[in-house]
């Protein structure tokens, strides 16, 4: 059952990644912090870092499938990646503040960094998601996702 539960959680995480990348585009794959526009629509209207949240959900699913030292290992995974993302978010926020100034400050004050808000950002722009670009951009993540699931499945069997 841990395989089914974990796989379901991983799928939710991957769906969250695709949804997020459909709004932000290929820029999500860049290591440098640069942006032409401040994305505040779609999942970004509920949390400033939906890709990191989706990653955490995926990591949780893998941990549940592996079923090692539960729930302690899950807490270790959350602590490790939570700290890593906290540090990245600080750097990215500083860069976005430099680029967008007051616009980012308003967004930052209204939208939580990680845990989603049920109420969307009121000043969000109206843009259409591009799921074709998202799926192309997510190709390596989807392949890694499939490889991980297959490896865990055969390892458990």
Domain spans, the chain: 2-156
Report which of 48, 53, 51, 52 is spatially closest to residue 105, judged by C-alpha positions: 48
Number of Cβ within a 10 Å radius of residue 67: 15
Q: Tokens 């079923």: give the residue.
A: 67
Question: Which pLDDT tens digit goes with each residue over 9-60?
Answer: 999 999 999 999 999 987 766 666 777 889 999 999 999 999 999 999 999 9
pLDDT digits (tens, 9 = 90+) for 82-136: 999 999 999 999 999 999 999 999 999 999 999 999 999 988 888 899 999 999 9
């Amino acid at each position: 059952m841990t395989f089914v539960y974990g796989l379901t959680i991983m799928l939710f995480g991957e769906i969250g990644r695709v949804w997020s990348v459909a709004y932000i585009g290929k820029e999500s794959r860049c290591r440098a912090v640069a942006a032409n526009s401040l994305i505040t629509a779609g999942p970004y209207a509920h949390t400033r870092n939906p890709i990191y949240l989706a990653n955490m959900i995926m990591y949780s699913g893998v941990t549940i499938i592996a079923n090692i030292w539960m729930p302690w290992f899950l807490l270790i995974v959350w602590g490790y990646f939570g700290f890593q993302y906290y540090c990245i978010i600080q750097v990215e926020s500083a860069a976005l503040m430099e680029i967008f100034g007051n616009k980012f400050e308003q967004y930052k004050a209204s939208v939580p960094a990680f845990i989603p808000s049920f109420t969307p950002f009121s000043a969000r722009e109206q843009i259409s998601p591009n799921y074709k670009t998202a799926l192309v951009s997510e190709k390596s993540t989807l392949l890694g996702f499939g490889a991980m699931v297959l490896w865990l499945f055969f390892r458990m069997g």
